Amino acid sequence: MDTSLFFGYVTWLIIMGGGAIFVMQPFLRRSPKNLFENYYEETPLSTLHAKKDALYQSIKDVEFDFKTAKLSEEDYGAIRDKLEREAVAVLEEIDSKEGKGKKKNLGSISKSAKQKVPGVKCPHCGEKNNNNSKFCIGCGSAINELTCQSCGFEYKIDDSFCPGCGEKLAIKK
């Protein structure tokens, strides 16, 4: 019985000693200055990736605000186009810094953001206009809202049928 008591004490001392060493380990290190070292190195490329992620999140936020009727269609279009153009610029800069000649990252951005003059053709003169333009830059006539020949109801140029009478509309963009 004396032997089992002795081995019990030895086992207890080993466990307690191991626990004490484990707890004291940060204080026993040779170089405590490395204890809180920041392992993230900021580079110009990482900054660009962070900016890209922030722009993508902003685009998602604008879409959510539009879907929940917090933004008008005009404001949504203007803000989204601005954010998409910024995202395209950041993606092009990332591609140039990474040495990729291809622009495969640009596929996720809508077509209107890649074009300098996105658009809607004027039904009167055929000039290309911004999607949010109310009047044509070529002839000055109203382009977003037109009048139905059958009932006189105002409709948007994107409409295929009159919202007032259901008549098929001849003018398309």
The tens digit of pLDDT for each residue in 81-91 reads 999 999 999 99
Phi first, then psi: give them for residue 25, nearest 5 degrees: -55, -45
Q: Where are the domains of the chain?
A: 44-107, 115-173
Q: What is the pLDDT of residue 12?
A: 92
Structure tokens at 136: 């044509």
pLDDT per residue over 17-43, tens digit each? 999 988 888 777 665 555 555 556 678
| Residue 137 DSSP label | T
Helix (H, G, I), strand (E, B) or coil at 27: helix
Average pLDDT over the chain, rounded to an integer = 76
| Rounded CA separation 142/2 (Å) | 104
- Which has the closest alpha carbon to 56: 48, 45, 67? 48
Has this prediction a pTM greater than 0.95?
no
Query: Which contacts of 29-37 are long-range, i.e. CB under 8 A and separated by 24 or more positions?
Result: none
DSSP-based three-state secondary structure for 67: helix
- Tens of pLDDT along 47-82? 888 899 999 999 999 999 999 989 899 999 999 999
E-state strands within 12-171 = 120-121, 128-129, 145-147, 154-156
Residue whose pair of structure tokens reads 């999140």 in the numeric block: 57
